[in-house]
């Protein structure tokens, strides 16, 4: 009986429990650093299974996924303007998203899942417009 109990204790000590987290990102007209038409996080690093909730803290914003590691994992439609939106990320890689009404003003951001940057070239070559071109270059530098 002791052998079974000791084995069970070792098993419980070596098993890592992974709990998904929920991260919040604010959709903003102006961030504390003075940047306008932005999300509160330009690049967010998370793990597979984590959820991200975008909060409409300023009016007129939404979330639209542009590209990710697996097109099947991306929502097909943009979120509704001025509405909270939550997405659970299951595929490792980089996700590029934007605010549909303000994409030419540079309102884009990235989520990196499991520190996987294997699709960085796809992200870098994604066609974005206006101020988003320069911002995408800045966000992908060093990834």
Q: What is the DSSP letter of 73?
A: G
Please report, for the chain, the start and end positions of each structural domain, with discontinuous segments joined by +: 19-140
β partners of residue 98: 64, 108
| Residue 11: per-residue pLDDT | 44
pLDDT band at 3 (very low <50, low <70, confident <90, very high): low
**Residue 52: is its pLDDT beyond 50?**
yes
End-to-end CA, the chain: 52
Distance CA 136, CA 141 (A): 9
Q: Kindly report the CA angle at 137 between 104 and 81, in degrees rounded to 5? A: 35
Read off the pLDDT of each residue in 33-46 and give the average, rounded to a whole number. Answer: 98
Q: Is 51 annotated as a binding residue?
A: no
Q: Is 99 annotated as a binding residue?
A: yes
CATH assignment of 19-140, among 1.10.760.10, 1.20.120.530, 2.60.40.420, 2.30.30.90: 2.60.40.420
């Amino acid at each position: 009986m002791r052998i079974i109990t000791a084995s069970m204790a070792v098993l419980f000590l070596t098993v890592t429990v992974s709990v998904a987290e929920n991260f919040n990102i604010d959709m903003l007209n102006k961030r504390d650093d003075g940047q306008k038409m932005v999300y509160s996080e330009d690049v967010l690093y998370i793990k597979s299974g984590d959820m991200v909730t975008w909060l409409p803290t300023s009016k007129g914003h939404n979330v639209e996924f542009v590209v990710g590691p697996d097109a099947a994992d991306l929502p097909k439609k943009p979120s509704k303007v001025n509405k909270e939106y939550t997405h659970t990320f299951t595929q490792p890689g980089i996700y590029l998203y934007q605010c549909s009404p303000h994409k030419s003003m540079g309102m884009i951001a990235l989520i990196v899942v499991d520190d996987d940057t294997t699709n960085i070239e796809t992200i870098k070559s994604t066609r974005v417009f206006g101020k988003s071109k320069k911002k995408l270059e800045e966000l992908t530098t060093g990834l």
